Amino acid sequence: MQLKIVQAGEPVLRAVARPLLAEEIGLDETQQLIEWMRDTMRDAPGVGLAAPQIGLPIQLTVIEDRAEYVKDATPEILAERERYPVEFQVIINPRIVERSEEQAEFYEGCLSVAGFSALVKRSRTITVECLDQTGAERRIVARGWHARILQHEIDHLNGHLYIDRMEPRSFTTLENFSRCWKQMSIAEARKALGIEA
């Protein structure tokens, strides 16, 4: 089943989502929701989907970065972004418990800000404590693009969108991103945009 993804302006995207109770995680309805969220994310396609994006104010997100999503990317682009496939993960009630001071800046998009992208700085490495779809405690240490996905999705659970953190001069349509900025290094893009280092 494909769920409707709500767009910027919906109040649920600006509210702090409530934690899921332990007894809620094992419910058939929750497990079905996780499957629908996975299918909706893949259909979009996207690398993450948080429950607020489908109108539900609960601390639940799914992520997955499939190899097919970057099949046309150059090895240099993949290395710069530290991007590698990430298996399907369910993240419930997450907390970022460690984050590196070192940051990385790349273009991000969002299924709830459809059709646009912008440069966003995020911690290069983070550690997340959460529950998985069985209710088991998990500790995830992520680097590069995986860390970026987690931070983006956890932001959704706290009422934030990437546009709150973006470099305003870099905001672009996806069409113009593909045409003008996609193959540039971040340093080249910042220079072309007139953004100071």
Question: Which residues are catalytic, by number?
Answer: 153
Angle at CA of residue 106, ends 86 and 45, nearest 5°: 45
**Which H/E stretch holds residue 54?**
none
DSSP at 18? B
CB 130 within 8 A of CB 89: no
The dihedral of CA 18, 20, 21, 24: what is its sign? positive
The span from the CA of 17 to the CA of 189, in Å, is 35
Q: In sequence order, what are the residues at sequence separation of 6 or more whose Cβ sits closer than 8 angstroms to the Cβ of residue 152?
A: 48, 108, 110, 120, 122, 162
Query: How many other C-beta atoms are found inside a 10 Å radius of the C-beta of residue 63?
Result: 24
86 closest CA partner among 104, 102, 69, 63: 63
Q: Which two tokens stand for residue 99?
A: 């984050």
